[in-house]
Chain A
Amino acid sequence: MDKNFAVRRRRDLIIAAVLAGLAALAPLFIKDVYVQNILILTLMYAAMSQSWNILSGYCGQISLGHALYFGIGAYTTELLFTKFGVLPWFGMLAGGVIAALIAMGLGYPFFRLRGHYFVIATIVIAEIGLLLFQNWEWAGAAMGITIQVRGDSWLKFQFMRSKLPYFYFALVLCSLAWFVTWWLEDSKWGFWWRAVKDNPEAAESLGVVVFNSKMGAAAVSAFLVAIGGAYYAQFLAYIDPESVMGFQFSLLMALPAVLGGIGTLWGPVLGAAILIPMTELTRSYIGGSGRGVDLIVYGGLIVAISLALPQGLVSLFSRSKAKGASR
């Protein structure tokens, strides 16, 4: 390990701690509920994108089906809660474990596929999940599940009067996803994944078990995304298949990482910090006309950023950082 890498990692950790600290203070100054809402969504998508980045960025297995794990997290939590009275905190963990197991079960056949065949398979499996949930009567079918909210309760993780607890949980989730990524980047897994991404055959010949490292990445990634799904369900207090498992979630998880810098530590956070407020603002300020101007602006910006900065916004900040992260 060269010294620069260690220095950079320590610096990253300090920056992250400072940012998280500043974010934790933000609600003291920002009282506007609308702005708080945007902050919550930004943190959540940053966390989701960070998790997606583990499998698709570091390990190079582009998945556009992560909405499946998001939905499984949301549905596990809410079904356990509304049908069996299991507290969301346990449901959240159960959802994460189930999603990780499903990810590994799917990984078994999926990781034999390469390139477009793999990407389409991930889209298709999430679409199957969506259709099944839409037709599953016991789970509310297309109508979904409404969660009864009776006052504020940390135990049940539901709050009516203030959005602040949701904000802090999103911050914790985002920090957790970041920290896991940071930690994995320097572990043997992190090095295996990058080797698998760059050249699977060479990695295999050097003793990396390609299949197992893909499985590991898929499990960690799915677990974190499912936690996010569970959180989102509690936040909305209402879920239906389209709103937690739709294809747009798969894209919204991938997009921040791609815009910020795929396979980098800071890419997802940076991408989400720009993309999510932009989405919300265009929607509420120019989307009101119902004439699609928000879509034109939003889509146009995505085209512009992805063409102008193929390595993501991270590459703007420092050349050496981008290089270091892509090693």
Chain B
Amino acid sequence: MGLLYGLIAVGLALIFGLMDVVNFAHGEFLMIAMYVSFFLFTFFAIDPLLSAPLVAAALFVFGAVVYLLVVRFAMRAKANAGMVQIFSTFGLAIVMRGLAQFFFTPDYRSVPHSWLGGKTISIAGIFLPEPQLMGALVSILAFAGLYFFIHRTDFGRALEATREDPGAVALVGIDKNRVFALGWGLGAALVGLAGAIMASFFYIYPDVGASFALIAYVTVALGGFGSVFGAFAGGIIVGLVEATTALVLPPSLKSVGIYAVYLLVVFIRPRGLFGSM
């Protein structure tokens, strides 16, 4: 489960953590991805597992478009840019929820009989649910990919440089909007992967994103902004803490443990575990 949180958080780690742009619509990106996956299954009978790359591609376009249509202007604001980002993306989240309700109705939906759903696998006598296992695998791959991408490619360097100093970057011929649009697309594509995996074992409804979004923010902040590895570690810690809390406290309080650990960590290390910002 921890790696699953990590998977949801990895896209946010890129947008929120590395590009330093607040995205309050992250949960809604996840929701959209789950719906895309659901409809691909219903109309074309493509299993969520196979459709994951398609969902990721769709979300890539979506993320880039959102950046170009909304976020680009929010970042241009001179006064209180942070608040403008928070509330424009928050407004966007409401619109997306409204649209989902309008087109897909508020009904709970699920993908029946997917390849992974409801199956377990036995490793050394321990039964593990297959979807979660797949989620964990994809999560590790996604983190490794992002880490490589940020630290080993020109694009990654351009991204970090753009965050540090958009003015200087323009001088050396990097188009800030192009870099950030690609960054948003990539972040959204990673959420797309998470959504496709989760579609096979979670109910899908317009508000589904909200319940995961806060945990994703906490995961990224716990690991520390500006660190891919931090978000990965954050995901694992969040998963472990949640499982431990569930053992000692009633299930309805399981998130309290996660929040408490976040507070504890930032009181001791105000920049998160591995943060550089």
Interface residues on B, range: 35 or more
Whether a CB of chain A sits under 8 angstroms from the CB of B128 is: no
Q: Which residues of B contact A (CB under 8 A)?
A: 16, 22, 70, 73-74, 77-84, 87-88, 90-102, 105-106, 206, 214, 217-218, 221, 225, 250, 252-253, 255-256, 259-260, 262-263, 266-267, 270-272
Instruction: Evaluate whether A117 and B259 lie within 8 angstroms (CB atoms) in the complex, with A294-B98, A295-B95, A300-B91 already known.
Output: no
Cβ distance A293 to chain B, nearest Cβ, rounded Å:
6
Q: Known contacts A114-B270, A124-B262; decide if A307 and B214 are in contact (CB<8 Å).
A: no
Chain B at the A interface: mostly helix, strand, loop or mixed?
Answer: helix
* B256, A296: Cβ atoms closer than 8 Å: no
Bound CA span A293–B105, Å: 11
Known: A114-B270, A121-B266. A306 touches B74 (CB 8 A): yes
- B238 → chain A closest CB, angstroms: 12
Contact A127 B73 (CB under 8 A): no
Report the separation of the CA atoms of residues A303 and B85 in the bound assembly, to the nearest whole angstrom.
Answer: 9
Pair A258/B270 contact, Cβ less than 8 Å? no
Task: Please name all residues of chain A whose beta carbon is closer than 8 Å to the beta carbon of B255 when the two chains form the complex.
Answer: 127, 131
Q: Which of A62, A116, A293, A295 contacts B83 (CB 8 A)?
A: A62
- Kindly report which residue of chain B lies nearest to residue A247, judged by CB atoms: B214
Distance (whole angstroms) from the CB of B65 to the closest CB of chain A: 14
Shortest B209–chain A CB gap in Å is 13
Residue pairs across A and B with CB atoms within 8 Å: the count is 135
Interface CB pairs A-B, < 8 A, 8:
A124-B262, A132-B253, A134-B252, A291-B105, A292-B102, A295-B98, A303-B91, A310-B80
Which residues of A are interface residues toward B (Cβ below 8 A)?
Answer: 62, 109, 112-117, 120-121, 123-125, 127-128, 131-132, 134-135, 251, 254-255, 258-259, 262-263, 290-304, 306-307, 310-311, 326
Contacts of A293 in B (CB 8 A): 98, 102
Chain B residues near A251: list those with CB within 8 A: 90
Cα–Cα, bound, A135→B249 (Å): 11
Partner of A128, one of B98, B106, B256: B256
Q: A120-B217, A307-B74, A311-B79 are contacts. A295–B94 as well, Cβ < 8 Å?
A: yes
**Considering the chains assembled together, what is the distance between the CA atoms of A116 and B21 in angstroms?**
10
CA distance A281 to B154 in the complex (A): 51
Contact A125 B22 (CB under 8 A): no
Collect the chain A residues with CB atoms within 8 Å of residue B266's CB.
113, 117, 121
**CA gap between A262 and B250 in the complex, in Å:** 40
- Lowest 6 A-B CB distances belong to which pairs? A295-B98, A292-B101, A299-B94, A302-B91, A310-B77, A299-B95
Contacts of B102 in A (CB 8 A): 291-293, 296
Q: Across the two chains, which residue of chain B brings its CB closest to A310?
A: B77
Chain B residues near A300 (CB, 8 Å)? 91, 95
Q: Which of A131, A299, A306 is the one whose CB lies under 8 Å from B84? A: A306
Q: A62-B82, A300-B95 are in contact. List 11 more A-B contacts (CB 8 A).
A: A109-B263, A112-B267, A124-B262, A255-B87, A262-B80, A262-B83, A293-B102, A295-B98, A299-B93, A306-B74, A306-B88
CA distance A301 to B74 in the complex (A): 14
Residue of B nearest to A304 (CB): B91
Min C-beta distance of B263 to chain A, whole Å: 6
What is the minimal beta-carbon distance from A195 to any residue of chain B, in angstroms? 17
Q: Contact: A303 with B263, CB < 8 Å?
A: no
Specify which of B91, B95, B252, B262 is in contact with A120 (CB 8 Å cutoff): B262
Q: Which of A117, A124, A301 contacts B271 (CB 8 A)?
A: A117
Are A125 and B206 within 8 A (Cβ)? no
A307 to B84 alpha-carbon distance, docked (Å)? 7
